Amino acid sequence: MLGSGRECTLFSQPVSGARGWHLHCYNSIIGGSLEVMAPSTFTYAQNDGVDQLEFVSDSGSDTTQYITVYGIDQYGKKVSERKLLTAATVVLSTATWLYFENAWLDAEAAGTVTIQDEDNNSIAEIEIGSINTGIAQHFNGEEESYITFFAGGLYDGTKDATYQLRWYPTAADCLDAGDGFEVLDELYCPVESGHDNHPYPMPIGPLPKGGWIVVYAIADGASAKGWCTLQGFDVEVPA
């Protein structure tokens, strides 16, 4: 159900300056405790301090792909950076980052591409066959966010799953699932039906700038195979 106290705004006309976004994520071993919805091929860990990021592939063939990384920089501003992979040689970011959001490749890589901190601690991976990290999270930086659609489901599974749509008022709270958050909505996907979806003709929002939108997942006592989709748009806040 929708979180109490969050107003919805209906836009009858296209919103000037709006920037849409779409997130889709799957996990073949959703656990028995709430965790950020992300591919099960890696253990997702947020950057835990001001640091440059490193990008590296485990294949010597990956020398032509560009990786674009999104997140929050040392000044608390949303930032993106595009770098050319150099196979197993680490590429260092120019920007200094506080928090990682997502990363995309412009072409499929032959190996697994890892995003890590300067101490070589893995933050996220782009697995072979994929072109993005696929984490169900979105920082809204200097813009207000609105959510228009939320869906979740199961595939080839025998356990129920629940997907919880959360908003954290400050980006720093993304480091801890228990820090000051608001539950905006929740989907329950029993094995019998397999999926659920909530479109919002009146978008959820505005979610003030500087926050973090994320989907958490939990299985019914054991691993479940599931997916989720989240859509919305950001609007620049007038100065």
Structure tokens, 79: 């930032």
Burial group, residue 43, by CB count within 10 angstroms (0-12, 13-18, 19+):
exposed
Task: Tell me the mean pLDDT in the region 91-97.
Answer: 93
Task: Tell me the mean pLDDT in the region 61-89.
Answer: 92
Give backbone dihedrals phi and psi of 64, rounded to 5 degrees, phi first. Answer: -120, -5
pLDDT-derived band of residue 4, with 50, 70 and 90 as boundaries? Answer: very low
Task: Tell me the mean pLDDT in the region 122-136.
Answer: 90
Q: Give the per-residue pLDDT at 48.
A: 67
Domain range list for the chain: 19-37+137-236, 53-126
pLDDT tens figures, 145-173: 999 999 999 987 778 999 999 999 987 77
Q: Give the per-residue pLDDT at 33.
A: 87
The percent of residues above 90 in pLDDT, for the chain, comes to: 52
For domain 19-37+137-236, which architecture applies? Sandwich (2.60)
User: Chain-wide mean pLDDT for the chain?
Assistant: 86
Dist CA 23 CA 171 (whole Å) = 18
pLDDT-derived band of residue 15, with 50, 70 and 90 as boundaries? Answer: low
Q: Give the per-residue pLDDT at 220.
A: 84
Q: Give the per-residue pLDDT at 171.
A: 78
Structure tokens, 87: 């196979």
CB 95 within 8 A of CB 73: yes
Task: Tell me the mean pLDDT in the region 5-32.
Answer: 72
Is residue 185 predicted with pLDDT exceeding 60?
Answer: yes
Structure tokens, 54: 């490193």
Is residue 221 predicted with pLDDT exceeding 80?
Answer: no
Is residue 174 predicted with pLDDT exceeding 60?
Answer: yes
Is residue 38 predicted with pLDDT exceeding 60?
Answer: yes
DSSP 3-state assignment of 73?
strand
Is residue 217 predicted with pLDDT exceeding 90?
Answer: yes
Q: Give the per-residue pLDDT at 239.
A: 65
Is residue 51 predicted with pLDDT exceeding 50?
Answer: yes
pLDDT tens figures, 61-74: 999 999 999 988 88
